[in-house]
Structure 1
Amino acid sequence: MKKVDILGVEFDFTTQQEILNILQDKIERNKKAFVVTANPEIVMYANKDPQYMHTLQFANHIIADGVGVILGSKIVRQPLPERIAGFDLMIELLSIANQKGLRVFFLGASEQTLEKMIPKIKRDYPKLVIAGYHHGFFKGHEHKVKQMVKEAKADLVFVALGYPKQEEWIQKNIDSFEKGIFMGIGGSFDILAGTVKRAPGFWRNLNLEWLYRLIQQPTRWKRMLALPTFVKKMFQYRRKSSDNM
């Protein structure tokens, strides 16, 4: 698959439907895949942390979860086809799991969030198999959690530990499992549980989901500072690339 280099992070040149087809094929063939849903914040963090950049290089697929990444791809004149929100991709995979009776493991968030989310998953996706779940606060019990996931033999493993922990956990442990699509999905369990409200379609269609989240969670403002710095670095990156041609 064609890749687009965004400050050293290799993004898949793909649409949501195309990546869904690829992942579904891997599930059917009992293959493994490490999926990263990356926004400008993650790209900037990887540029500051060589170990995290190294972790991202192990991913099979890095998708553009953030309008800023799409903007960045346009700046370097390699426009990605579309933004693929990690939450939307997860919902589509849950629908496929429901249709095909796939096994799903949920790792991350708090116990309270899982207590609200799991009954909703059972209600909304009655035909998928919940192969297991565990909250994200398991320091000192890493081996136990890894064994739980291993014994679950899940087709889909959603890891909601927030970056960089979720990607680091996947990269560290994926070789221990026989199969499965492993995907970091940040705070998506909170949305599924109903404890955090997602931006309405109107905001998403205008590519303003980030602003809606900032209004809902004003404490995120420091994280939003990564975007202007990201755009500046993208222009610098383009100039440097042009000079080297």
Structure 2
Amino acid sequence: MKEKFLGVNVSSHSYNQLKEKIMLDIEQKKQSFIVAINPEKILRAQQDAELRRLLNGATYQIPDGVGVLLASKIKGGDISQRVTGIDMLLTLCEQATIHDKSVFLYGAKPGVAEKAKESLIRKYPNLKIAGVLDGYVKDQGYIKQQINAAKPDILFVALGSPRQEHWIVENMKDLDVRIFQGVGGSFDVLSGKVKRAPAIFQRFGIEWLYRLIIEPWRIKRQIKLPMFLFKVWEGRK
């Protein structure tokens, strides 16, 4: 169940479908890789064949952005629900609590992942967090050793995109982990370091507008949305 936009695959699964598939992947001891896809990432992949290959090689490409939903409508597709990176993280933590699975938080600045852990424990008191490691540790052998010693079912990697996706692809074969998700700045939001858009903006899929209001310099990035939609419309036949 995937649609293609400018050469990049996007999964059309809903949250419910994804959590069922991912929990099954864990039970079957299958390694799966979740990557969030937005218009900016798709446009970047137009100029970067390696990035495009990496994104398309993921198991699940979640539609993280209202622009992808609009593009699906333009092409007559079936993607009707935005699946944001942070909400996917929360969904997996909820499922981990229900199914007695564990998670590991890797990335962000020193102290941020620890605060994100505290936030997640408050939300899901029975959640097993097998370990936490900041993104400034340089020794790759040590990082893999710590993760493997913890034996988490799910690894959340917050190194920024596309660095985190490259890290996952390069290291997943050496890690005793079933599910990998690149989560960008999610630890910053969970820790309270960065404020997420109010619920009304989330509900209508316009978190980008809230970020633009509080950070006007983002206009250079947001202008890419109409460019993306135009390119999808041009190539819809």
TM-score (norm 2): 0.93
2-side partners of 1:142 and 1:220: how far apart?
33
The answer to whether residue 31 in structure 2 is matched with residue 39 in structure 1 is no
**2:127 corresponds to 1:128:** yes
| Residue pair 1:31, 1:179 contacting (<8 A) in 2 also | no
Distance 1:219 1:123 in 2: 34
Task: State how many pairs are aligned.
Answer: 237
Percent identity at matched positions? Answer: 39
Asked whether the 8 Å contact 1:156–1:181 carries over to 2, the reply is yes
- How far apart, CA to CA, are the structure 1 residues paired with 2:159 and 2:121? 22
| Greater Cα shift, 179-188 or 145-154 | 145-154
Q: Does the CA contact (< 8 Å) of 2:82 and 2:205 recur in 1?
A: no
Tell me the equivalent position of 1:23: 22
Q: Structure 1 residue 103 and structure 2 residue 102: aligned? A: yes
Inter-CA distance 222–18: structure 2 relative to 1 (3 Å threshold) = same
| Counterpart code for 2:20 | N
Gaps of 5+ in 1: none
Instruction: Give the partner amino acid of 1:221.
Output: I
The aligned counterpart of 2:155 is 157
Structure 1 residue 221 displacement after superposition: 2.5
Q: Deviations over 1:39-79 (max 9, x none)?
A: 11111111111111111122011010100001111122223
Pairing 1:170-181 to 2, within 5 Å after superposition: 170-181=168-179
Shift of 1:222: 2.1
Q: Do 1:32 and 1:178's aligned partners in 2 also have CA atoms closer than 8 Å?
A: no
Who is 1:186 aligned against? 184
Q: SS where residue 77 of structure 2 aligns?
A: coil
TM-score, with normalisation over the residues of structure 1?
0.90
C-alpha change, 1:115 and 1:13, in structure 2 (3 Å) is: closer
How far is the alpha carbon of 1:122 from its aligned partner? 3.0
Cα 1:132–1:203 shift into 2, 3 Å: same
1:97-149 deviations in Å (ceiling 9; x for gaps): 122332211111111322422222333323222211211223x4222212222
Contact 1:58 1:171 in 2 (8 A): no
Q: Structure 2 stretches of 5 or more lacking a match?
A: none
Matches within 5 A, 1:140-155: 140-155=138-153
- Indicate the larger mover: 124-133 or 64-73: 124-133
Q: CA deviation at 1:10?
A: 1.0
Larger CA deviation: 126-135 vs 85-94 = 126-135
